[in-house]
Amino acid sequence: LGWAMQVAAFVFIQRKWEDDKSHFEKMLDYFCDIREPLQLLIFPEGTDLTANTKARSNEFAEKNGLQKYEYVLHPRTTGFTFVVERLREGDNLDAIHDITVAYPQNIPQTEKHLLNGNFPKEIHFHVQRYPIETVPTSKEELQLWCRKRWEEKEERLRHFYEGGKSFSTAGQSVIPPCKSELRVFAVKCISLLYWTVFPLGMLTLLYLYSFARWYFAAMIIFFVVQQKIFGGLELIELACHRYFKKQQKFHDTKMKNN
């Protein structure tokens, strides 16, 4: 599962910090080593808002003397603080973008809703950028900072759903000039056209040409086997990076001694 995500080096977790910490550490260090522009999307709540998860969140709030939330779940700060600290140490974090999403009409929760045509008619985004220089450095202050953002999310969503179903426009709003309504409409049309033509084209190739069927079969076998043996393509990529980095370090040491 998630083969495309493996190719893109997504960070897969088990939701158990004892198991996830080492993997997080290796992947984040890898991202810092390769010095490629990185966008890491994380959900500190760890899951979506349902009756069961809300009850657990309220239980956590009661146990820790925190406010009970109606529109959000309490964030899990351990993973968040670790990610921020690790990327900061690797000089690979320039800002944190706090994104709040709201649905003024219907809120689809599962794939079943989408299959039934229950798509959201509108999606509203509130984005707040925090330069890394403004974010606390100590672990305790960083945890409090994260919880404070969730308090703000709760109030923001409360005003949204109990008010005019729109976010406040207070503050600085910088919208790139390329984001015109015409451009957005054109991108939507091109995307719709592509995702209509591409699957049909692939099915046609599979039907007409045996080499396409052999290629698809080979790729499926490759991804299934590597998943069973190595645990995922991103782990192979990580292992190769660590190996070549070790070899380079050994070579540099040898040259220095000579």
pLDDT digits (tens, 9 = 90+) for 42-81: 999 988 888 899 999 999 999 999 999 999 999 999 999 9
Tell me the C-alpha distance between 152 and 213, whole Å.
Answer: 52
What value does the mean pLDDT of the chain take? 90
Tens of pLDDT, residues 70-104: 999 999 999 999 999 999 999 999 999 999 999 99
Tell me the C-alpha distance between 72 and 61, whole Å.
Answer: 12
Tens of pLDDT, residues 200-217: 999 999 999 999 999 999
pLDDT at 174 over 60: no
Domain assignment of residue 9, yes or no: no
Domain assignment of residue 200, yes or no: no
Domain assignment of residue 159, yes or no: yes
Q: What is the pLDDT of residue 170?
A: 66
C-alpha separations of 150 from 77, 136, 145, 176, 247 in Å: 11, 16, 9, 27, 45
Tens of pLDDT, residues 121-137: 889 999 999 999 999 99
Domain assignment of residue 102, yes or no: yes
How confident is the model over 90-119, as a mean pLDDT? Answer: 88
Q: What is the pLDDT of residue 157?
A: 94
- Range from 149-153, 156-160, 182-186, 202-206 carrying the lowest mean pLDDT: 182-186
Assess contact for 244 and 16: CB atoms under 8 A: no
Domain count, the chain: 1
pLDDT at 184 over 60: yes
* 113: containing domain: 39-174
Tell me the C-alpha distance between 148 and 144, whole Å.
Answer: 6
How confident is the model over 232-256, as a mean pLDDT? Answer: 88
Q: What is the three-class DSSP state of 96?
A: strand
Q: What is the pLDDT of residue 190?
A: 97
Please tell me the pTM assigned to this model: 0.82
How confident is the model over 218-227, as a mean pLDDT? Answer: 95
Please list the residues that pair with 131 across neighbouring strands.
95
pLDDT at 1 over 70: no
Tell me the C-alpha distance between 72 and 153, whole Å.
Answer: 7
Tens of pLDDT, residues 12-35: 888 888 888 999 999 999 999 998
Domain assignment of residue 71, yes or no: yes
Domain assignment of residue 241, yes or no: no
Domain assignment of residue 111, yes or no: yes
Domain assignment of residue 148, yes or no: yes
